[in-house]
């Protein structure tokens, strides 16, 4: 439900916040919350109509008022025929105004805010940070992956006087987007989990990805703290820049040179990760409820951010061990017949695919490892090379079978053959269901099956097919 009740505004406050024009109603009229969805709008809320390529929220202003909206925003000249009822503030751009309204609301509160972005691991790190902070204080954590120009403002509008801390996720696929999100959330701690070749269709190079992520640090300024991976060469550039402008940096990683490091990283037969975390002069054992060695790095990022906000080591460990992560992100499930499913179907990029392949190969033990991989999207001119690299990685890993779905991932199967994967071990399919059927014919008790692909590939269909 896209409605947030914590943020109340008078009509004159809305007009001021969004640099709009109050064209109907009185300045003292009030809205009790904000909604972008006329279907779930509650009586007394402000309706913000958002327009997209296939819809126009202005078509639902009448419905919103009939449902009890206290007021609404509208594009210039778009509200003249609306029924009598609440107040109307006209603006140049309702999406931009939603962000301005959230920024105004953020300014009502003096509290530490953690912003999390990164090519991989941002949702996991955000969930971990939220779990740690909630151990010691009332914390607002953004839901799911609501991290864009609509989702992030709505999350910020959820801030209330009861909150002592907040953590928000930020996503992007174009330059300037992180900067705008940072303007809205005004973070005091910035976490960048990684910089990898993603969204290259809109950015062009990994250096451009780095610079786009770095907008978070630029917007935060020298009064904040940057939490960065200490063994990421692109993030090292961001660290140097931030220090040069007077900012403070905390690094995390596996090496002892970092401010926070993980030692003795282990993975159980079911994939759960454990390690010893070192923060300052303290050290404790942590057992994560998530799969994959790389998640130790996400845990370190979360620990660094939380420690900066004053969380003691015992709260950090407890929060990490209790964090609940979203579905389809390296979730382990035992299927009928003793086959293990590694469900990482939510999304994919070259780096995360390689990490997932490494993970399933480590987990297989005496069994065999299958990978069912769908196309990786938004790679632009890098697409062919990236998919071929996946094929080479699959052939070079201890992977037993590769099933690909989609025209781009076909290149991975072809490259895997060229790199030495035996005939019949790497096959191309037109749908997730066909790939799943091929796997089901071959998988035996003790085998592990990885499912992964970009969101638009809907690789969870392979998961459902394997579940039967």
| Pure H helices in 158-245 | 177-185, 200-203, 206-220, 233-244
pLDDT number for residue 444: 97
- Domain 331-467: give its CATH architecture: Alpha-Beta Complex (3.90)
The Cα 73–Cα 426 span in angstroms is: 54
CB contact burial 347-362 (16+ within 10 A = b; e otherwise): bbbbbbbbbbbbbbbb
Instruction: Give 192's strand partners.
Output: 117
Sheet containing 448-452: give its strands across: 331-335, 339-344, 448-452, 369-374, 401-405, 426-429
pLDDT at 157: 97
Q: Give me the residue label for tokens 């007021």.
A: 71
Cβ within 8 Å of residue 402, ≥6 positions away: 370, 371, 373, 391, 394, 412, 413, 416, 421, 425, 426, 427
CA distance 193 to 302: 9
pLDDT of residue 4: 52
- As a whole-number percent, the residues of the chain with pLDDT over 70 amount to 98
pLDDT at 275: 97
Return the residue matching tokens 């003096």.
Answer: 110
Enumerate the domain spans of the chain: 3-93, 109-322, 331-467
pLDDT digits (tens, 9 = 90+) for 46-94: 999 999 888 899 999 999 999 999 999 999 988 766 667 799 999 999 9
Task: Per residue of the chain (468 residues), give pLDDT as tens.
Answer: 355 556 799 999 999 999 999 999 999 999 999 999 999 999 999 999 999 888 899 999 999 999 999 999 999 988 766 667 799 999 999 999 999 999 999 999 999 999 999 999 999 999 999 999 999 999 999 998 789 999 999 999 999 999 999 999 999 989 999 999 999 999 999 999 999 999 888 899 999 999 999 999 999 988 899 999 999 999 999 999 999 999 999 999 999 999 999 999 999 998 899 999 988 788 999 999 999 999 999 999 999 999 999 999 999 999 999 998 888 899 999 999 999 999 999 999 999 999 999 999 999 999 999 999 999 999 999 999 999 999 999 999 999 999 999 999 999 999 999 999 998 999 999 999 999 999 999 999 999 999 999 999 999 999 999 998
Tokens of 294: 């790389």
CB atoms within 10 A of CB 204: 14
In order, the DSSP letters of 365-404 are TTS-EEEEEEPPPS-GGGHHHHHHHHHHHHHHTT--EEEE
Rounded to an integer, what distance in angstroms lies between the CA atom of residue 141 and that of residue 146?
11
Q: What is the CA radius of gyration of the chain?
A: 24
| Owner of token pair 């509650």 | 42
408-412 own/partner pairs: CB under 8 Å, 24+ apart:
408/375, 408/376, 408/383, 408/384, 409/373, 409/374, 409/375, 409/376, 409/453, 411/384, 411/387, 412/373, 412/387, 412/388
CB 197, CB 349: distance < 8 Å: yes
Question: What is the phi-psi region of residue 307: left when phi exceeds 0, alpha when psi lies from -120 to 50, beta otherwise?
Answer: alpha
The CATH code of the domain at 109-322 is: 3.40.1190.10
Superfamily of domain 3-93: MurE/MurF, N-terminal domain (3.40.1390.10)
Residue 258: alpha-carbon gap to chain centroid = 24
pLDDT number for residue 1: 38
- What global pTM score does this model have? 0.94
The neighbouring-strand residues paired with 73 are 89
- DSSP class of residue 42 equals P
Which residue(s) pair with 89 in the sheet? 22, 73
């Amino acid at each position: 439900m896209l409605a947030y009740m914590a943020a109340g505004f008078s009509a004159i406050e809305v007009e001021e916040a969004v640099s709009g024009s109050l064209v109907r109603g009185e300045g003292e009229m009030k809205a009790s919350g904000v909604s972008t969805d006329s279907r779930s709008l509650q009586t007394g809320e402000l309706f913000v109509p958002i327009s997209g390529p296939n819809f126009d929220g202005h078509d639902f202003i009448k419905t919103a008022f009939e449902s009890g909206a206290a007021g609404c925003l509208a594009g210039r000249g778009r509200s003249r025929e609306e029924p009598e009822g609440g107040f109307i503030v006209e603006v140049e751009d309702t999406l931009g105004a939603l962000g301005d309204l959230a920024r105004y609301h953020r300014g009502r509160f003096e509290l530490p805010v953690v912003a999390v972005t990164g090519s991989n691991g941002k949702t996991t790190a955000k969930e971990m940070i939220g779990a740690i902070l909630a151990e010691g204080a009332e914390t607002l954590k953004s839901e799911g992956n609501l991290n864009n120009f609509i989702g992030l403002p709505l999350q910020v509008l959820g801030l209330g006087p009861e909150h002592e801390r907040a953590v928000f996720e930020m996503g992007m696929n174009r330059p300037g987007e992180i900067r705008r999100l940072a303007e809205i959330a005004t973070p005091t701690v910035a976490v960048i989990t990684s910089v990898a070749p993603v969204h290259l269709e809109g950015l062009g190079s990994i250096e451009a990805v780095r610079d786009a992520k770095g907008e978070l640090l630029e917007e935060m300024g020298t009064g904040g703290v940057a939490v960065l991976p200490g063994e990421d060469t692109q993030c090292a550039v961001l660290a140097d820049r931030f220090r040069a402008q007077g900012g403070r940096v905390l690094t995390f990683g596996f090496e002892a040179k970092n401010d926070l490091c993980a030692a003795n990283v282990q993975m159980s037969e079911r994939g759960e990760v454990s390690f010893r975390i070192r923060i300052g002069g303290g050290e404790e054992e942590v057992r994560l409820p998530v799969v994959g060695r790389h998640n130790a790095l996400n845990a370190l990022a979360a620990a660094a951010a939380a420690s900066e906000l004053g969380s003691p080591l015992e709260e950090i460990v407890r929060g990490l061990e209790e964090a609940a992560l979203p579905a389809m992100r390296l979730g382990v499930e035992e299927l009928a017949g003793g086959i293990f499913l590694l469900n990482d179907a939510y999304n994919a990029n070259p780096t995360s695919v390689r990490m997932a392949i490494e993970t399933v190969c480590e987990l297989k033990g005496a069994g065999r490892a299958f990978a069912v991989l769908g196309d990786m999207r938004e790679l632009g001119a890098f697409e062919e090379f990236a998919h071929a690299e996946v094929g080479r990685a699959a052939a070079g890993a201890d992977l037993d079978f590769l099933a690909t779905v989609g025209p781009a991932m076909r290149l991975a199967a072809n490259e895997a053959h060229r790199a030495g994967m035996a005939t019949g071990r790497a096959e191309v399919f037109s749908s997730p269901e066909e790939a799943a059927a091929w796997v089901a014919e071959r998988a035996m008790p003790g085998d592990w099956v990885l499912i992964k692909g970009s969101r638009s590939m809907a690789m969870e269909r392979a998961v459902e097919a394997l579940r039967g």
